[in-house]
C-alpha cells in the first residue's frame, strides 16, 4: 500500500477552505487578491487527502510582491536571495520589545533586567515568554478586540504591521481558535522561524515551545 503523504505545493480544499500545502503545515489565503496574485485558478484545487486533513494551519499566503517568483520564498521573507532581518538582537532588547509592543509602554530598567534574568535562568521557551506578557493582568486590562489582538501578533511576533486584510483574516480565525492557539500559529510560522535563524538566533537555544 502506498503511503499517503502531504503534497507540498498543492492547493487543497479542506472543510470548505482553500489552502496551500507547505512542508510544515497548511497556508490559508489572506484574500482573493492573494490567490489571484500568484496566478492560481480554481481548477488547481483538489480535495485534501487524509495526511493533509491532519495538518494544521501555520500561516497565510500573502499577496505576491514584485520581484518574488517563488511563493515559499516570500512566505519565508526571502525574495531574490535577499533576507531582511527584523526585530531585537539581544534578550534585553527582546524584553523591551515585549513591553513596548504587547503592553504598549516602556519597561523600567528593573523590569527589563528582571525578566531578562528570569527568562535566561529558567530557560523559558519563546512561547512562554510571549505568554507571560499576552496573558498578564496588565494586558487583559486593555480588553483588546480580536482584530487588535491579531494586529498585535503581527507587530509583536513578526515585527511588521499587517495589511487590513491580513489582520481581518486572522481575527476571523478566532471564531474557531483560542487566542493562545492563534499566537502559537504565529510562533510556528515560517516567517517567525526565519527571524529565529537570523537576528533572533539568540533565542534559538530556548526553543519555540
pLDDT at 167: 87
The region, left, alpha or beta by phi > 0 then psi within -120 to 50, assigned to residue 6 is beta
Q: Tell whether the model's pLDDT for residue 62 goes beyond 70.
A: yes
Please write the tens of the pLDDT for every residue from 127-175.
Answer: 888 999 999 999 999 899 999 999 999 999 988 888 888 888 888 888 8
Inter-residue contact 185 to 102 (CB < 8 Å): no
Task: Characterize the bridge pairing of strands 57-61 and 78-79.
Answer: unpaired
Q: Which CATH architecture has domain 91-206?
A: Orthogonal Bundle (1.10)
- Taking the alpha carbons of 98, 144, 195, 64 in that order, is the dihedral positive or negative? negative
What value does the mean pLDDT of the chain take?
A: 84
Stated pTM of the model? 0.61
Q: Sorting pLDDT into bands at 50, 70 and 90, what band is 77?
A: low
Domain edges within the chain: 11-76, 91-206
pLDDT at 1: 56
pLDDT at 177: 87
Q: Sorting pLDDT into bands at 50, 70 and 90, what band is 43?
A: confident
- CA distances for 196 relative to 2, 129, 134, 153, 199, angstroms: 36, 14, 20, 16, 7
Inter-residue contact 112 to 100 (CB < 8 Å): no
Amino acid at each position: 500500500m502506498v503511503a499517503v503523504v502531504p503534497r507540498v505545493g498543492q492547493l487543497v480544499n479542506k472543510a470548505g477552505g482553500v489552502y496551500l500545502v507547505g512542508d510544515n503545515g497548511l497556508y490559508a489565503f489572506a484574500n482573493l487578491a492573494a490567490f489571484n496574485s500568484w496566478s492560481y485558478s480554481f481548477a488547481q484545487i483538489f480535495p485534501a487527502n487524509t495526511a493533509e486533513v491532519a495538518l494544521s494551519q501555520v500561516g497565510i499566503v500573502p499577496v505576491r510582491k514584485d520581484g518574488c517568483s517563488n511563493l515559499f520564498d516570500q512566505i519565508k521573507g526571502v525574495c531574490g536571495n535577499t533576507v531582511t532581518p527584523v526585530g531585537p538582537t539581544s534578550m534585553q532588547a527582546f524584553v523591551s520589545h515585549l513591553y513596548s509592543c504587547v503592553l504598549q509602554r516602556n519597561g523600567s530598567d528593573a523590569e527589563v533586567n528582571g525578566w531578562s534574568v528570569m527568562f535566561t535562568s529558567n530557560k523559558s521557551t519563546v512561547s512562554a515568554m510571549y505568554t507571560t506578557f499576552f496573558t498578564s493582568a496588565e494586558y487583559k486590562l486593555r480588553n483588546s478586540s480580536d482584530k487588535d489582538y491579531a494586529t498585535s501578533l503581527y507587530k509583536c511576533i513578526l515585527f511588521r504591521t499587517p495589511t487590513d486584510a491580513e489582520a481581518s483574516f486572522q481575527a476571523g480565525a478566532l471564531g474557531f481558535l483560542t487566542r493562545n492557539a492563534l499566537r502559537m500559529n504565529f510562533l510556528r510560522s515560517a516567517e517567525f522561524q526565519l527571524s529565529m535563524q537570523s537576528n533572533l538566533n539568540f533565542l534559538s537555544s530556548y526553543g519555540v515551545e
